Structure 1
Amino acid sequence: MSLVSFDNGTFPLADVQDNPARYVKRLERAKVSPGYAVCLCASHRTPLQLVIRRYGSLLHLAGWPEDGHRHKRDSCPFYKDPDAPRAARGGDSKAAIMATPTGLNVKLDAALTLRETATGSRGSTGQPTGRTSRRSASLLAFLQTLWSESALNQWTGTATARHWGQCNAMLLAEVGTALINGSDAQNVLHIMRRYEEADRAAINAEFDVFIARLAISPNGATHRGLVIGEINEVVPTQFGHALSLRQSARKYYASATLIDRASRTFAHAWKAIGVRTARVVAILLVERTAKGHMKLIDLAAMLCSSAFLPCDSMYEVGMANRLVAERRDFLKPVRLSPDDDMLPDFVLRDTDVPTHIEVYGMNGLASYEARKDRKRALRLSRRIPAVEWNADCEPLEAVSLPASRNRSLLT
């Protein structure tokens, strides 16, 4: 169990992450003096300082910049693998998502502010054009990057479960100082807190403050917001559909056209809504109507395993759930660069040499088979061992995985 120290006390990190409201006053004092908290996962001559970061009405702990590699790899959520793929750092000034010394800088292809034009229509504001214009990222690309930057696509094998409270804390630790379309993240992005009945009033009040920003300003501009949470259900209504998240009973109202497009664009995720062994995380682009309802303008849905590891199919969900249950140390690569010519489905990190796992579910399709052959040739040339699962004709339990070198530590 990881422990953290601040305000002359020592506390379980899990409790600080799960119940941030309990620690607001202590963290406020520590933020003033000495200005940081300390992670006790490992002993170093220089203490493992943690950033105390405000997001909304609460304070959260985040890893010290460029210090993640010093945390204990097998037990501390602040550990960051220096070799793991990350968002663009320097060099590409036109990248849609850039990691800067002060946090992520994101340009989305979705407008967060609209203004009335002379003709009465609404257009986006403040988006640069011309040769110096940056590329823009889709909602899904942004969500996937957040997951990767927060190390939520990694598993160290020391636990067999991860709940939304941990996801919330890890996301906030990464996004706290981000800029999204030029605005501070906390003004335009709300990451749902894990629902606890005892904290219902505080959780709702915090969300209401965020929603209050989504209004038409005196200059006629309409402000939109982003919400991240786990989809609970999508049900038909008289005028379209209503979507709800597991962390709140609030409804988000969407047109039938939007829901139909989402169900096709994010087909694997959409079919998994309500499936017990999977999770479906969504990022919602919302507006507040004149009557105070939440209107869903756009969304992206990401399929995840039961421990919130991103997956591309239900077959991958099954493999990820097995790896977690067997306490394996592994990575689920997320494509952050078009130059990645390999991108295995999973990478086992607890074998003597990192081992790729490929989950094949579309065998027989010509283009799919050609891609399999290219990846096999690349692995052979680079001497990368691999496990292949033909999921459409072989049961998961029949797949033989290489032994973990950590097995003796877990028994």
Structure 2
Amino acid sequence: MFNVSFDGDTFPLSDVQENPARYVKRLERAKVTPGYAVCLCETDIAPLQLVIRRYGSLLHLAGWPDDGHRHKRGCAFYKDPNAAKPAGGGDSTAAIMATPAGLIVRLDVSLTLRETTSGSRGSPAQSSDRTSRRSASLLAFLQTLWSEAGLNQWTGLGTVRHWGLCNAMLLAEAGTALINGADAQKVLHIMRRFDEADRAAINAEFDAFIARLTIDDQGATHRGLVIGEINEIAPTQYGHALSLRQSARKYYAGSTLIDHASRAYRHAWGALGDRAARVVALPLVERTPKGHLKLIDLAAMLCSSTFIPCDSIHEVAMANRLVAEHRDFLKPLRMAPDDAMLPDFVLRDTDTPTHIEVYGMNGLASYEARKEQKRALRLARRVPAIEWNVDREALSAIRLPRVGAKRVAAT
């Protein structure tokens, strides 16, 4: 739908994002001269410059800093100027901070472990902070990365989003990130979309990342983070093996970790195998002396068929319907507990933004109290809302408001 230009030619943005290996040489030349690519999404203004950024063996396009609002709505580089403030804001003690130079993340897991003099594993090696900073869970980091990449929203253009686009948008945000003081490229591997023609290159790139997960000369064990879509979790003789759709590589875990994950991420776990949903994983892994990948920790995030994050399988159904009907909407992620009116979705194509609530825990006292509190706040603030009580109504019976006149005129 949108085109980009570099190395003296014009290309569909979707193809550049889905098939980055095809454009390595041309992007390498453009990175030298003139030093950037351009986005052609807007025809009424001068072409907008794009950053050409290397991550691993490939090069990717990212939006120019503070330029996102100038891109056309629906372009992968568009940033909503009315969206929530960046993670962390100006709080220097926040676990995740979005800065002009990129995300700065402090996780509550250790990416490096050092041996003590007795040979046992000692304290984790952490980056030194002048101020005491909080730490974030793996799930909080995954949600933040999703939000910063704009993958928690839909503009109503098209009905499909493949992993290749997710990979490109995530890399655009993670390319300059610091995670526990280390460059993201050294500790985070975002799986590429699998393509049989690129099998050797994809495997070589992943093997190069895994090769860095070693015990160094100082006795420190280096771990890594991987982002991909879960394909299967199968029992083994000693526990379980997890695999991702983008690679046949197995990640081995004991039953204790898998049992904990199944409880901590029960909605995601319950959706495994459901073709209407997707489950994205963020494993923390070590490489064993025999070269196997051992799961140390794991976060799992339930998503719709187009990778919109969801909190339940009923939200998946609603998100899938909104996409199928070409609605423009946002899925607010629950990283702001101070937001007393946080809805499940926000329709952005109505004249006044409309909240959507999916009620699936009816009867629970605390849930009912929270429901009434949010209703009262919306009434006081005159915020329109659509409610779906999953126990009483079929999703098809829910009437969504019409697209607003302003949005119709704009399209």
TM-score by length of 1: 0.97
Q: Which residue of 2 aligns with 1:267?
A: 266
Change in Cα spacing, 1:247 to 1:86, as seen in structure 2 (3 Å) is farther
Deviation for aligned residue 1:126:
3.5
**CA displacement 1:354-386 (0-9 Å, x = unmatched):** 000000011111111100010001111111000
Change in Cα spacing, 1:369 to 1:90, as seen in structure 2 (3 Å) is closer
1:179-194 to 2 correspondences below 5 Å: 179-194=178-193
Deviation for aligned residue 1:338:
2.5
- Paired with 1:332 and 1:25, the residues of 2 have a C-alpha distance of 37
Change in Cα spacing, 1:130 to 1:251, as seen in structure 2 (3 Å) is closer
Change in Cα spacing, 1:64 to 1:209, as seen in structure 2 (3 Å) is same
Q: Which residue of 1 aligns with 2:395?
A: 396
- Paired with 1:300 and 1:19, the residues of 2 have a C-alpha distance of 27
- Taking only aligned residues, the RMSD between alpha carbons, in angstroms, comes to 1.6
- Paired with 1:182 and 1:354, the residues of 2 have a C-alpha distance of 39
- Paired with 1:239 and 1:62, the residues of 2 have a C-alpha distance of 43
- Paired with 1:86 and 1:227, the residues of 2 have a C-alpha distance of 27
Q: Which residue of 1 aligns with 2:175?
A: 176
- Paired with 1:222 and 1:263, the residues of 2 have a C-alpha distance of 27
Larger deviation: 117-126 or 79-88?
A: 117-126
Change in Cα spacing, 1:130 to 1:8, as seen in structure 2 (3 Å) is closer
Change in Cα spacing, 1:83 to 1:212, as seen in structure 2 (3 Å) is same
Deviation for aligned residue 1:44:
5.1
Deviation for aligned residue 1:88:
3.1
Does 1:9 pair with 2:6? no
Change in Cα spacing, 1:10 to 1:370, as seen in structure 2 (3 Å) is same
Does 1:333 pair with 2:346? no
Amino acid at match of 1:225: G
Deviation for aligned residue 1:66:
0.8
**CA displacement 1:181-209 (0-9 Å, x = unmatched):** 00000000000000010110000000000
Change in Cα spacing, 1:310 to 1:130, as seen in structure 2 (3 Å) is closer
1:239-258 to 2 correspondences below 5 Å: 239-258=238-257
- Paired with 2:90 and 2:376, the residues of 1 have a C-alpha distance of 31
- Paired with 1:253 and 1:147, the residues of 2 have a C-alpha distance of 26
> Would you say the 8 A contact 2:127–2:181 is kept in 1?
no
Deviation for aligned residue 1:100:
1.0
Q: Which residue of 1 aligns with 2:109?
A: 110
Does 1:368 pair with 2:367? yes
Segments of 5+ residues of structure 2 without an aligned counterpart are none
- Paired with 1:286 and 1:173, the residues of 2 have a C-alpha distance of 23
Segments of 5+ residues of structure 1 without an aligned counterpart are none
**CA displacement 1:5-38 (0-9 Å, x = unmatched):** 0010100001100111111111111111111100
1:150-169 to 2 correspondences below 5 Å: 150-169=149-168
**CA displacement 1:211-236 (0-9 Å, x = unmatched):** 00001111111000000000000000
- Paired with 1:153 and 1:57, the residues of 2 have a C-alpha distance of 27
> Would you say the 8 A contact 2:88–2:95 is kept in 1?
no
Change in Cα spacing, 1:131 to 1:184, as seen in structure 2 (3 Å) is closer
Deviation for aligned residue 1:340:
1.5
Change in Cα spacing, 1:131 to 1:370, as seen in structure 2 (3 Å) is farther
Q: Which residue of 1 aligns with 2:63?
A: 63
Change in Cα spacing, 1:210 to 1:128, as seen in structure 2 (3 Å) is closer
Identity of matched residues, %? 77
Amino acid at match of 2:15: D
Deviation for aligned residue 1:90:
4.6
> Would you say the 8 A contact 2:112–2:126 is kept in 1?
no
**CA displacement 1:333-357 (0-9 Å, x = unmatched):** 0122222111100000000000000
